[in-house]
Amino acid sequence: MYEFFSGPMLWIAFSFFLFGLAANIISTFTLSRSKDRIFYNHANAVWGIKSVLIWLLPLGSVSMRRQPFFTLIGFMFHISLITVPLFLNAHNILWDENFGISLWSIPDSISDILTIACILSGIFLMLRRAVKREVRILTEKRDYALIIITLLPFITGFLAYRQWGDYETILLLHIVTAEILLIIIPFTKLSHMIFFFFTRLFIGFEMGGRRGTKTW
């Protein structure tokens, strides 16, 4: 079973991830061209890039500065969420074996810190949805489920690295939950990992290119 999930299933998961995202992008772009064609008349690269870059900076926008603690927790969550899967040494071995790609690896001690940061910040974001009224009324059960599914590969990976519990079972759970996460990303709100950039670009076009005002 391990050979299947660490081999063929890994390719299947990445295929769903890549082709799903590509199909989602093409579908959204096609729909926007048919529904809001005039919008593209205001495309402005400078305003679009400014809009993206400002929102990639911690406390870059006014709304971020109004809630600095939440902003920093959010950045911590997303940075660790991206960094650990891509640059963990053990993952790089798999990258090389399966795809012939070798990335720069971060020390295991840093990976530990980032993994713990991801888990704790993810739990905080989930509790915030449950506690804060203005966020709770916009939250559905699937939003909690998505956070849990996102955290499971980190929790199981942390346990497997320390060999706490049944190592083979936890390692298999780590691989399976990571592949489930890859498969559902294009079809859920998690697709904002790529649509964030398109959204910020388009808002930059609309607010800056058309109205001449900042989006931040």
The strand pairing partners of 32, in sequence order, are none
Quickly count: other Cβ atoms within 10 Å of residue 173's Cβ: 20
- Highest mean predicted confidence (pLDDT) among 43-57, 113-127, 189-203: 113-127
Is the pLDDT score of 118 beyond 70?
Answer: yes
Who wins on pLDDT, 161 or 100? 161
Query: pLDDT tens digits for 173-205?
Result: 999 999 999 999 999 999 999 999 988 888 888
Give domain limits for the chain.
2-210
Region 59-85: what's the mean pLDDT? Answer: 92
What is 2-210's CATH topology? Fumarate Reductase Cytochrome B subunit (1.20.950)
Confidence of residue 160 (pLDDT cuts 50, 70, 90): very high
Confidence of residue 215 (pLDDT cuts 50, 70, 90): low
Who wins on pLDDT, 33 or 117? 117
**Residue 32 φ then ψ, to 5°:** -65, -35
Region 2-18: what's the mean pLDDT? Answer: 88
**Residue 58 φ then ψ, to 5°:** -60, 130
Share of the chain above pLDDT 70, in %: 98
Is the pLDDT score of 80 beyond 90?
Answer: yes
Could you please report the per-residue DSSP string of 46-102? HHHHHHHHHHHSTT-SHHHHHSHHHHHHHHHHHHHHHHHHHHBHHHHHHHHHHH---
- Sign of the CA dihedral 176, 87, 64, 43? negative
Is the pLDDT score of 166 beyond 80?
Answer: yes
Q: Which helix (H) or strand (E) holds 124?
A: helix 108-131
Smallest CA-to-CA distance from 179 within 6, 11, 1, 13 is with 13
